[in-house]
Structure formats: structure tokens, C-alpha cells
């Protein structure tokens, strides 16, 4: 009895509750091919594996039993493949990499160029995935590894089957229309609470990013007033430049667009981690390790975005008690009367629990060894 990997993956996709059409889309097949895979498994096992219930299908008892064993079979196949590749000496093979928009635009091409120059036998197929689904895409076997974002205030799941390899930690700053930093910005940084009455440009609250920012704002004592709900980074920054609101920003995000915005560091600790989600077994494959290394080399060393004012016109942002006429910010060096604590010098990160003297951290504050969070190996 033969149980090919592609057919077993199709069964597992259906076991997760997908329709024939959804399973086909997730796996890159036609619905007809999905039906053929199931029919072939039924012939091989001599048992009915699925039954139709209206427009959906559900697994029979035999189908659920085979699905449990399918995971073990596929894991054993992955172990065997990794062992063969390690023994072969040559780094090669085909990988499917899940990517999301901003990371693909900034990191993907240079990383693939580095990988090809070192290991021309490695073939990478990139597939765009929802950044919040990176972990799930690897768990489901739809991609071998995926770039993702992990927020301490809205973390990705961890179940032991998939590891998160951190490439970079970024600290958020606040993007304002060019030419209108508040008075704290002139001293180097801004308390998040000072932006409580501004119009915000944020992703939906159901997203990991949207939830993380809202959590940080609530910790600072306010609920952000979201004027525009936008997911695309370049669009958000274009709206900031047009004076339509403010938005969180990191160095990686600024590579997509920086014209017409002023970037002000925040005193509040609001971070995200650029990670690679990878199957724990697949990570031992030489081509997977080589790709992770190439991606890591493209990640700029972590740190805080320093005060940065781009050239170009921008709308006015009126901060409460900004001290100027019509809400205009005070001149550089103007004093504060609201009891704000001293701000760090431009470009100097605050001391953050869990960080060393150089500002780097091996894992997020509050996590422990063995939690599946690892830093990419040095090249």
C-alpha cells in the first residue's frame, strides 16, 4: 500500500475543516485534483475516508484515523530527507518560502541573490501569505518556512512543532507629517500618551499589529482614535505625509516610504520581532538553514528609530498643550510644564528589561529558554 505525501497533505487539509475548493487553493491544486487524491487514498486503504455534507466534506472515522498517522508519516519523511541532505554534502533542493508584502519588498530579493551566489542548487519558490498566518501556513505544510512578525503584546502561537527564529527586533517610533514634531521630539523622544488626542492610522484591531498597538496605547492610558483603518504600510505613510493622521513606524517600514514624514522616537517600549517560522524538523535541512542565514544577513541590526525629519511639505498636527498659536508646536528646546520625565538623547535607546548593554536581546522580555524562540545563527 502506497501513501504518497501529496495525497496525505490533501487529507490533512480537509481534516482542518477546509472545503474541497479551499483545500485546492491552499495546496495549489485544482478541486478535481483534490478529489483524485482522496479517491486514490480510498483505493489504497479500501476504506471511505470522507463523506459529503451539503457543500462541505467531513472525514469518516477511518479518515480521522489516517489523518493522525499522516502527520507521523510526513514527519518521518521530513526527517529522512534532512538526513539524506546532510549526508550528501551539497546544499540543494526546492523550498517554498512564505512572505508578506513589506518584508518581500525589502528583504526577499537581496536574500535570494545571496543564497543563489553561495548555493546555486537551492531553488526557492516564494508565496505571499497573510503575515498573521505565517505560523499556520508552516504548521499546515503549505510552505516550508515563512517570514512573520511577532509582537510581545500579541504573540504568535507556539506549539513545539514550529520554531520561531528571530532575525531582528525593531522598536516602534511615531510617524508625523513632516515639519511638525511636538516639543518632546525636540528633546529626543515622545511619550505615547502625548498622542492620545491625535487621529491615528492603524490596521484592524483583529490583526496582531493592530492589537499590539492598541494594547500599548491602553497601557499608556488611552484608546487611540482611529481615523483610517489601513493595513498597507506604504499607504499608511502616504496618508501621514498628507496630514491625515499619525502612525507607528519602524526602520523596515520606512524603507518602503519615508518622504514627507517626521519620525519621532517613543519613550514607551513598543516592539516587534521579525521572525522566520520553520518546522522544527525541516530546520535541520541544510538548504533551510542556508536560506534562514541569507535572510538574517539582510536584517539591519536592531535598535530604536532615531529622530528623523524628512524633507517635504506636511500637514499640521496639534498636540495638547503644545504651547504655540493654533496648536503649533513650540520651538526647539521649549520647556515642559506637564511633569514629563527627561527624554533620552536622539538615537539612544532606553534601557529595556531583558536587553544587554548593547541594546540586543536573545529573546523577548518575559520569555524563557526552551520557548521555541531562537536567534538566527551568525553567518
What's the CA gap between 91 and 201, in Å, rounded?
A: 44
Task: Check pLDDT > 60 for residue 304.
Answer: no
Which pLDDT band, with edges at 50, 70 and 90, does 114 fall under?
very high
DSSP assignments along 93-130, one per residue: EEEEEEE-HHHIIIIIHHHHHHHHHH-TTEEEEEEE--
Number of neighbours of residue 290 by Cβ within 10 angstroms? 20
DSSP letter (8 states) at residue 340: P
Predicted pLDDT of residue 245 = 95
Predicted pLDDT of residue 185 = 53
Collect all residues with Cβ–Cβ distance below 8 Å to 127 and sequence separation of at least 6.
Answer: 96, 97, 98, 99, 142, 143
pLDDT digits over 278-296, tens only?
988 888 888 999 999 999 9
Predicted pLDDT of residue 300 = 55
Number of neighbours of residue 11 by Cβ within 10 angstroms? 22
Number of neighbours of residue 157 by Cβ within 10 angstroms? 11
Which pLDDT band, with edges at 50, 70 and 90, does 321 fall under?
very low
Identify which has the larger pLDDT, 33 or 201: 201
Predicted pLDDT of residue 202 = 97
CB–CB of 296/167 below 8 Å?
yes
The torsion defined by the Cα of 147, 352, 253 and 232, in degrees rounded to 10, comes to 70
Predicted pLDDT of residue 1 = 67
Predicted pLDDT of residue 331 = 31
pLDDT digits over 13-69, tens only?
788 776 788 777 777 678 888 888 888 888 888 888 888 877 778 888 998 898 888
Number of neighbours of residue 137 by Cβ within 10 angstroms? 22
Predicted pLDDT of residue 276 = 95
Task: Check pLDDT > 50 for residue 101.
Answer: yes
Rounded mean pLDDT, 333-354: 31
Amino acid at each position: 500500500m502506497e501513501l504518497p505525501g501529496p495525497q496525505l497533505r490533501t487529507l490533512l487539509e480537509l481534516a482542518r475543516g477546509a472545503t474541497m475548493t479551499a483545500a485546492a487553493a491552499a495546496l495549489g491544486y485544482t478541486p478535481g485534483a483534490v478529489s483524485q487524491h482522496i479517491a486514490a487514498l480510498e483505493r489504497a486503504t479500501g476504506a471511505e475516508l470522507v463523506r459529503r455534507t451539503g457543500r462541505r466534506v467531513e472525514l469518516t472515522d477511518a479518515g480521522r484515523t489516517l489523518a493522525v498517522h499522516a502527520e507521523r508519516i510526513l514527519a518521518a519523511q521530513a526527517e529522512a530527507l534532512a538526513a539524506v541532505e546532510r549526508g550528501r554534502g551539497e546544499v540543494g533542493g526546492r523550498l517554498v518560502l512564505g512572505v508578506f508584502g513589506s518584508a518581500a519588498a525589502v528583504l526577499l530579493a537581496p536574500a535570494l541573490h545571496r543564497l543563489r551566489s553561495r548555493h546555486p542548487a537551492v531553488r526557492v519558490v516564494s508565496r505571499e501569505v497573510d503575515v498573521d498566518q505565517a505560523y499556520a501556513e508552516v504548521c499546515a505544510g503549505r510552505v516550508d518556512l515563512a517570514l512573520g512578525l511577532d509582537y510581545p503584546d500579541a504573540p504568535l502561537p507556539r506549539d513545539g512543532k514550529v520554531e520561531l527564529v528571530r532575525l531582528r527586533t525593531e522598536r516602534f517610533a511615531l510617524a508625523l507629517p513632516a515639519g511638525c514634531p511636538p516639543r518632546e521630539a525636540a528633546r529626543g523622544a515622545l511619550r505615547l500618551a502625548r498622542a492620545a488626542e491625535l487621529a491615528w492610522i492603524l490596521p484592524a484591531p483583529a490583526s496582531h499589529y493592530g492589537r499590539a498597538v492598541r494594547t500599548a496605547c491602553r497601557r499608556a492610558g488611552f484608546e487611540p482614535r482611529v481615523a483610517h483603518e489601513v493595513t498597507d504600510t506604504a499607504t499608511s505613510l502616504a496618508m501621514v505625509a498628507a496630514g491625515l493622521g499619525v502612525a507607528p513606524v519602524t526602520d523596515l517600514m520606512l524603507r518602503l516610504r519615508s518622504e514627507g514624514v517626521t519620525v519621532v522616537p517613543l519613550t514607551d517600549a513598543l516592539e516587534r520581532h521579525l521572525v522566520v517560522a520553520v518546522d522544527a524538523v525541516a530546520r535541520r535541512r541544510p538548504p533551510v538553514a542556508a536560506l534562514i542565514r541569507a535572510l538574517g544577513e539582510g536584517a539591519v541590526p536592531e535598535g530604536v528609530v532615531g529622530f528623523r525629519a524628512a524633507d517635504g511639505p506636511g500637514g499640521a498636527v496639534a498636540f495638547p498643550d503644545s504651547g504655540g498659536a493654533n496648536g503649533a508646536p513650540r520651538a526647539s528646546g521649549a520647556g515642559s510644564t506637564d511633569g514629563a520625565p527627561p527624554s533620552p538623547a536622539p538615537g539612544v535607546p532606553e534601557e529595556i528589561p531583558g536587553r544587554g548593554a548593547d541594546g540586543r536581546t536573545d529573546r523577548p522580555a518575559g520569555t524563557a529558554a526552551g520557548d521555541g524562540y531562537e536567534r538566527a545563527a551568525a553567518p
